[in-house]
Structure 1
Amino acid sequence: MDFVALVSGGKDSIYSILEACRLGHQLVACVHLGRPTAVEEESYMYQTAASEALQVLVEECLQVPLILYPRQGRSVHTSLTYSQQDASDEVEDLYHALQMAVERFPTVSAVCSGAILSTYQRVRIEHVVCGRLGLQSLSFLWRLADQKQIMLRMIQDDQIHAVLVRVAAPPGLVPHRHLNKTLHELQPLFWKLHQQYQMHVCGEGGEYESLVLDCPLYHKKLVLDDVEIRAAEDGTGELLIRACHAEDKNGGRSFVYTQPKVTPISTLHPVPSLHRSTAPLHLGFLPHVCISNGGLWHVSEIMSPSPGVLDATLQQVEEFEANQAVYEMLEIFSLLKRVLHKHGCTAQDVVMVHLYLSRMSHFVLINQHYQEFFGTMLPPSRSCVAVGVLPGGRRVSMDCVVQHASGASLRIDPSQLDDAANLDRAVVAALTNKTSKLREVLHVQSRSHWAPVCVGPYSQVNTIRSVLHFVAGQIGLVPATMTLVSESWSLQLKQAWKNLARVLDALDATSLDHLMSGLVYCSSKAIQLSDPDTLIQLESICMEQLQSNGGVLSGAIDSINNNHQEVDPYDGYEDEETMREMTNTSSVVVDDRPGAKFLPLLVVSVPELPVGALAEVEVMALSRGYASTIDLENHVFKRTLAPSDSTVNKAYPDLGWDTGYLFVPEKSTQTDPRLEVKMICRTADMGAISSAIVTASMIDDEILDINATNLFGRMLEMLKRKSERGISFDVEGMMNIRVYYSSKYMDSTLVRSAFSFAMGSLLNNFPAVTFIPVDNIHLLDWTIGGPETSARSIVAMQANSVDTVKMETSRWLRMGR
């Protein structure tokens, strides 16, 4: 991609350009926002020290055009999110400067910046670059490594020669002693200040600013001819550059551009107009909603009341199918909007979405309407797969998790609390809560080495009450290039776990140790779950990744360990590679973590995954701080059902989650096969949060008719089983159940009616329910020493129970006080 770079002349912006060029992107121009013309005040966004040298640095050393834009605005809106378009804010200067660059260089499709850990800067750059200009944000230093390792890469591996031009960390950094000194000279001092005062080695806390005099990208090196040190009374200081020039280098430029590697980006294609019937749509029901304590609720599966028929005749089947899928998606949004409004919520309150399509080819067209409904600012997390045949020939199904008042609490400035009388009480409570946050969103849109950019308008993670992480599905994309790591399903699965571990690590060093449950989607075309060797390999990969935390050293980038204390992640060695070599350890450290052994982890195969991926991992996790203070209870139960087992007393519940199908009583059968029902359950904090997976597998080789009502009854009864400590899954507080059924053995209408009867007979409170047809099912159970290759799983239930009031109260008692 052709890109422009936001440059200050410092090490971060220059090194980020170097990383972008290494990946085949082409630098077209640089943009710099200079000092404000009217007001001299510190900027939260831009480095202006040594800006007088920028023209020589860019035009003669880098030899690309420079756009100098004088900054007019100030740091007005300083909350973590930014959505305003206030002309007095310095972010608007960035928008106008980049708009000018795009007009001047029309081939530009990306903007490169040097943020390492600053969410404040990244969010604002992404707001302008992605949200308003429609460009790709490149931020290849974002959570690249811990700051010590980044510094070593810059000054040793890549020969970045830079000097300090501003210091603001007295008494550690002194103007007359340290300004105009190189990073290489000051490296030992940075290490010492980091150990004594926790100073950011790379200056991320504003401790210093730098100017790059030479690097492999430069055609010429920058020479400072005349400088003056200006020191302030508060101990800060700046290097004023009175004269400088560009000088030829011995051997010239050492960096050679590679052929630009163009990575396909999902583009938004115009949707053909839909000519619908003018007959009004009569909706006889709304999807069932299960509301738990604290305003967290789950919406059952939503499908269009009818597939709908377009009046216009479309010549190509694919185009017809895609338009029908869009039609159904719009009807689903209409239903969801009514449900949200009924309960006092909006689309901004949705925190997690599961989207099931009949074909993945419908994704691009549907995505446009999805973006219009949920917006691009702080959207919900999402998992999307293609499951093939949906009930009644439908093409789209969706369920979602909602937290009441969370959307407004994210977007309202706390200063507006003076007008609390006009705000929802739940919003006021969220904004005044000092011990936890109702909702937090991790939404990184910049391409980096950290983790993949979300393929669509959704966030990597949505966190509820500083405890519960709803994580978007992760596939095997290489973050920097957004291409699949390999055509091998095993390498893609490993990369998916690694991406997941990196995402969790950004959440205050949360790791794979803190998972409550997980789901692995596999492509039916590439992964045969019926093959014993494939199962053994798949289980081995998942266990290895869980025990090694995906190969990610948890807390290293933020320099924290499980006790939230400063640590040296490499035990005194220079970097991770040296530590591995000197201590004779492998690149993947596998330890004995009993939590992985009992994790409820289900594997299902489906026809298609996003961007042609062969594996996807989706999890629900606890925050590290909360998980480290509570007990996790794990238990496994099994039961064999014989044909003579009694049947469930069928009582049809008065629910509205059906989708227009007739729920006919199931015919009794005398040929019911022997089945094994198994449950793996994880309970946190004495039942505040519970996750369970229950599967039913056929023991007999012969395929016989199945009494689905009786089967579902036994599976629901299994949820009530208590552990040795008397702890069980909170069935009555159950928020949702997702039923994955093999379309080879079970009919979609039969599954819904049978489950409905079983629920009506055994439960007092009905959870939200979603039914997902899949090709194959397998429960990863490491408690038996290896995969069960003989049994054929035909159905699985993934159940979650969450009591947010109990959860937050416990967190307050253990941490908040």
Structure 2
Amino acid sequence: MKVVALVSGGKDSCYAMMKCVQYGHQIVALANLMPVDDAVDELDSYMYQTVGHQIIVSYAKCMGIPLFRKRIQGSTRHQKLSYKMTPGDEVEDMYELLKEVKKKIPSIEAVSSGAIASDYQRLRVESVCSRLGLVSLAYLWKQDQSMLLQEMIDNGILAITVKVAAMGLNPEKHLGKDISFLYSYLHKLKELYGINVCGEGGEYETLTLDCPLFVHARIVLEEFQVILHSSDSIAPVGILHPLAFHLETKAESVSVGGCDKMNDLHHENTGLVYEVQAENSEGCVDAKESVADVTVLTKAADDGLQISTKKEDLAFSVSCWLGASESSGLQDDLKGVLRKIEAELSGHNLDWRNVLYVHLYISDMNEFAVANDTYVKFITQEKCPSGVPSRSTVELPLPHVGLGKAYIEVLVTKNEEKRVLHVQSISCWAPSCIGPYSQNVLYMAGQLGLYPPTMTLTKGGAVAELELALQNSEAVAKSFNCSISTSSVLLVVYCSESIPSSERGKIQDKLEAFLKQIRSSSTKEGKLSKVLDHLSLYVLVPDLPKRNDN
């Protein structure tokens, strides 16, 4: 994919670009947000690093690609974790910036960012990407910070500290120092005080002066001033203000990741800097159109729908389907089913916020895109402020048993307190997900045997796919401090009917072996306190979302 990279100047955003190139993407533009006043070094921002912004202008020449910059007009107005479009918020500046980049380079498909552990930042980038129809690439997400810092150093990133704000870091002593010089000391501070060695807790910020993507020149900082923001005796805060720098041309200039092959902008414009002007009205149309669409959906007729409610102590399930004779196509069937479930929830004084998990069954996986587009427009973040429900989607022969083209079963609870993990960015951690992975009672969305960085199915057949799907599930489970081998009560394994009979026994053997391996590893690490008996349910279905080779 062609990628615009969000760059702050820090090591993380630069290394994220390197990972994009590693996985076959092409960096065609850079995007940066900066203060309104050039004399200001740092803003009170939850989103953006601005220290060292005076030097970012050089990145265009260093890489030989255009840099788009916008001055930050907004402030932090929407402080909840999950973001929704808020006029005047600093996130809208990112939206306007990336919208202009997409306008100038229409072939751009994705946005790269250096998010490692901040859900707050990742969710905002994902929100903007969703509104612009772009893919979020976050290849550093959930990576071990010690290993990540070592990788950056080993892969040639030269970055210096431009802000320090943590116990053990002294502005006079540690500002302007290379991360390779500070590596051992940062790990010592981690042992002493528990700091994040990559600075994810705001302990320090960096400025990249050279990296392998700087194919034309490196930055040489000649002179700087240390500005003390806080003289606190325990954790003084200081920043580095650049006074003089120059570019040092590299002996050989080569193309990295196809950076020199620009089809959208004239070649003579590569390396130029564009400043995007503010547009106060931007961003409002998207939200209004989305609300209008949902309003229309809720007014359609409900004829022919059947609903079943099964109550339990802690939760209850609601199933809804359409008779085959009433079916008028997947989109209309799904709209009708969703409306009926919403009405049933309302009858219990509940809504989509109370739904933990959704089983979506469709009659033809060729229509998955239609089903997903209809689903996500109806069950929105606005309806579920704490996070939309987890979801799995498989194909079932619904018309053969007298049903319409869509069948839904939802698990509902009256307890609205749930912790949702919904990562839509493509990363090295686990596959990006249309619906959230899980909630605090671990209802995990469906996992396929996808290689997370490329979102492609692993080769080797059904057994290999199962193993990778289990690894992906374990990665998600660890984010909730548990394991699928020690915490799972029920594992549902959907198998395509295209899998040969000879392979089906091997799938069960692989599942048992994988769980045994994880359980053994947890025991050695002293993490296994109680093992729950698990039940594996195997369901043979006609098709799965990545087609019939699953």
TM-score by length of 2: 0.84
Q: Superposed, which structure 2 residues align to 1:661-810 within 5 Å?
A: none
Instruction: Determine helix, strand or coil for the equivalent of 2:429.
Output: coil
Return the alpha-carbon distance in structure 1 between the equivalents of residues 36 and 415 of structure 2.
39
**For residue 187 of structure 1, what is the amino acid of its counterpart?**
Y
Kindly report structure 1 stretches of 4+ aligned residues shifted beyond 6 Å. Answer: none
Q: Deviations over 1:332-352 (max 9, x none)?
A: 123212211211122343221
- In structure 2, the residue matched to 1:74 is 75
Deviation at 1:359, TM superposition (A): 1.8
Q: Deviations over 1:58-111 (max 9, x none)?
A: 111112111121112222322212224131x21121111112211222111111
1:512 and 2:512 matched: no
1:392 and 2:402 matched: yes
1:362 and 2:331 matched: no
- In structure 2, the residue matched to 1:345 is 350
Q: Sequence identity, in percent? A: 34
Q: Which 10-residue stretch deviates more, 249-258 or 209-218?
A: 249-258
Return the alpha-carbon distance in structure 2 between the equivalents of residues 339 and 286 of structure 1.
11
Q: Superposed, which structure 2 residues align to 1:207-222 within 5 Å?
A: 207-219=203-215, 220-222=217-219
**For residue 477 of structure 2, what is the amino acid of its counterpart?**
L
Instruction: Determine helix, strand or coil for the equivalent of 1:519.
Output: strand
Return the alpha-carbon distance in structure 2 between the equivalents of residues 396 and 331 of structure 1.
9
Return the alpha-carbon distance in structure 1 between the equivalents of residues 444 and 307 of structure 2.
24
Q: Superposed, which structure 2 residues align to 1:608-627 within 5 Å?
A: 608-612=543-547, 614-615=549-550
- In structure 1, the residue matched to 2:98 is 98
Q: Are 2:24 and 2:257, in contact at CA under 8 Å, matched by a contact in 1?
A: no
Q: Deviations over 1:757-778 (max 9, x none)?
A: xxxxxxxxxxxxxxxxxxxxxx
Q: Deviations over 1:684-737 (max 9, x none)?
A: xxxxxxxxxxxxxxxxxxxxxxxxxxxxxxxxxxxxxxxxxxxxxxxxxxxxxx
Distance 1:206 1:461, change over 3 A: same
Which structure ranks higher in relative contact order (CA pairs < 8 Å, sequence separation ≥ 6)?
A: 2
- In structure 2, the residue matched to 1:155 is 153
- Unmatched segments (≥5 aa) in structure 2: 262-299
Q: Superposed, which structure 2 residues align to 1:324-339 within 5 Å?
A: 324-339=329-344
Q: Are 1:80 and 1:120, in contact at CA under 8 Å, matched by a contact in 2?
A: yes
- In structure 2, the residue matched to 1:440 is 419
1:479 and 2:452 matched: yes
Q: Are 1:9 and 1:210, in contact at CA under 8 Å, matched by a contact in 2?
A: yes
Distance 1:188 1:511, change over 3 A: farther
- In structure 2, the residue matched to 1:754 is none
- In structure 1, the residue matched to 2:308 is 288
1:382 and 2:386 matched: no
Q: Are 1:169 and 1:208, in contact at CA under 8 Å, matched by a contact in 2?
A: yes
1:544 and 2:544 matched: no
Q: Are 2:321 and 2:403, in contact at CA under 8 Å, matched by a contact in 1?
A: no
Return the alpha-carbon distance in structure 1 between the equivalents of residues 31 and 519 of structure 2.
38
- In structure 2, the residue matched to 1:303 is 321
Return the alpha-carbon distance in structure 2 between the equivalents of residues 516 and 20 of structure 1.
38
- In structure 1, the residue matched to 2:220 is 223
For 1:461, which of 438, 443, 448 is the aligned residue? 438
Deviation at 1:196, TM superposition (A): 0.6
1:174 and 2:170 matched: yes
Distance 1:482 1:535, change over 3 A: closer
Return the alpha-carbon distance in structure 2 between the equivalents of residues 550 and 103 of structure 1.
51
Instruction: Determine helix, strand or coil for the equivalent of 1:122.
Output: helix
Q: Deviations over 1:177-217 (max 9, x none)?
A: 11111111111101100001001000000011111111111
Distance 1:543 1:250, change over 3 A: farther
- In structure 2, the residue matched to 1:404 is 414
Instruction: Determine helix, strand or coil for the equivalent of 2:214.
Output: coil
- Unmatched segments (≥5 aa) in structure 1: 261-278, 311-323, 407-437, 555-559, 564-592, 616-817
Distance 1:561 1:451, change over 3 A: farther
Instruction: Determine helix, strand or coil for the equivalent of 2:439.
Output: strand
Return the alpha-carbon distance in structure 1 between the equivalents of residues 128 and 526 of structure 2.
35
Return the alpha-carbon distance in structure 2 between the equivalents of residues 610 and 258 of structure 1.
34
Q: Superposed, which structure 2 residues align to 1:634-653 within 5 Å?
A: none
Return the alpha-carbon distance in structure 2 between the equivalents of residues 594 and 337 of structure 1.
38
Return the alpha-carbon distance in structure 2 between the equivalents of residues 43 and 256 of structure 1.
32
Q: Are 2:157 and 2:208, in contact at CA under 8 Å, matched by a contact in 1?
A: yes
State the structure with more CA Rg: 1
Instruction: Determine helix, strand or coil for the equivalent of 1:59.
Output: helix
**For residue 82 of structure 1, what is the amino acid of its counterpart?**
Y
Return the alpha-carbon distance in structure 2 between the equivalents of residues 297 and 363 of structure 1.
27
Q: Which 10-residue stretch deviates more, 518-527 or 133-142?
A: 518-527
Q: Superposed, which structure 2 residues align to 1:420-435 within 5 Å?
A: none
Instruction: Determine helix, strand or coil for the equivalent of 1:60.
Output: helix
Distance 1:213 1:326, change over 3 A: same
Deviation at 1:393, TM superposition (A): 5.2
Q: Are 1:117 and 1:204, in contact at CA under 8 Å, matched by a contact in 2?
A: yes
Return the alpha-carbon distance in structure 1 between the equivalents of residues 70 and 138 of structure 2.
21
Return the alpha-carbon distance in structure 2 between the equivalents of residues 332 and 214 of structure 1.
55
- In structure 2, the residue matched to 1:688 is none
Return the alpha-carbon distance in structure 1 between the equivalents of residues 548 and 175 of structure 2.
51
Deviation at 1:33, TM superposition (A): 0.9
Distance 1:229 1:61, change over 3 A: same
Instruction: Determine helix, strand or coil for the equivalent of 1:462.
Output: coil
- In structure 1, the residue matched to 2:284 is none
Q: Are 1:30 and 1:65, in contact at CA under 8 Å, matched by a contact in 2?
A: yes
- In structure 2, the residue matched to 1:138 is 137
**For residue 302 of structure 1, what is the amino acid of its counterpart?**
C
For 2:431, which of 452, 470, 473 is the aligned residue? 452
- In structure 1, the residue matched to 2:473 is 500
Q: Are 1:165 and 1:208, in contact at CA under 8 Å, matched by a contact in 2?
A: yes
**For residue 350 of structure 2, what is the amino acid of its counterpart?**
C
- In structure 2, the residue matched to 1:202 is 198
Deviation at 1:405, TM superposition (A): 6.2
**For residue 462 of structure 2, what is the amino acid of its counterpart?**
W
Return the alpha-carbon distance in structure 2 between the equivalents of residues 30 and 282 of structure 1.
52
Return the alpha-carbon distance in structure 2 between the equivalents of residues 177 and 445 of structure 1.
40
- In structure 1, the residue matched to 2:21 is 21
Distance 1:169 1:309, change over 3 A: closer
Return the alpha-carbon distance in structure 1 between the equivalents of residues 67 and 240 of structure 2.
22
For 1:491, which of 451, 457, 464 is the aligned residue? 464
Return the alpha-carbon distance in structure 2 between the equivalents of residues 330 and 125 of structure 1.
29
Instruction: Determine helix, strand or coil for the equivalent of 2:196.
Output: coil
Return the alpha-carbon distance in structure 2 between the equivalents of residues 122 and 613 of structure 1.
33
Deviation at 1:293, TM superposition (A): 4.0
Return the alpha-carbon distance in structure 2 between the equivalents of residues 368 and 254 of structure 1.
38
Q: Deviations over 1:435-465 (max 9, x none)?
A: xxx11211111111111112x4x212133xx
Q: Are 1:11 and 1:211, in contact at CA under 8 Å, matched by a contact in 2?
A: yes
**For residue 298 of structure 1, what is the amino acid of its counterpart?**
S
Distance 1:445 1:595, change over 3 A: same
Return the alpha-carbon distance in structure 2 between the equivalents of residues 211 and 327 of structure 1.
53
**For residue 380 of structure 1, what is the amino acid of its counterpart?**
P
Instruction: Determine helix, strand or coil for the equivalent of 1:242.
Output: strand
Distance 1:309 1:397, change over 3 A: closer
Q: Are 2:82 and 2:120, in contact at CA under 8 Å, matched by a contact in 1?
A: yes
Deviation at 1:328, TM superposition (A): 2.2
Q: Are 2:146 and 2:197, in contact at CA under 8 Å, matched by a contact in 1?
A: yes
TM-score by length of 1: 0.58
Instruction: Determine helix, strand or coil for the equivalent of 2:73.
Output: coil
- In structure 2, the residue matched to 1:110 is 110
Q: Are 1:498 and 1:550, in contact at CA under 8 Å, matched by a contact in 2?
A: no
Q: Are 1:461 and 1:471, in contact at CA under 8 Å, matched by a contact in 2?
A: yes
- In structure 2, the residue matched to 1:706 is none
Return the alpha-carbon distance in structure 2 between the equivalents of residues 281 and 29 of structure 1.
49
Q: Are 1:24 and 1:257, in contact at CA under 8 Å, matched by a contact in 2?
A: no
Return the alpha-carbon distance in structure 1 between the equivalents of residues 477 and 107 of structure 2.
36
Instruction: Determine helix, strand or coil for the equivalent of 2:326.
Output: coil
**For residue 320 of structure 2, what is the amino acid of its counterpart?**
I
Deviation at 1:250, TM superposition (A): 4.6
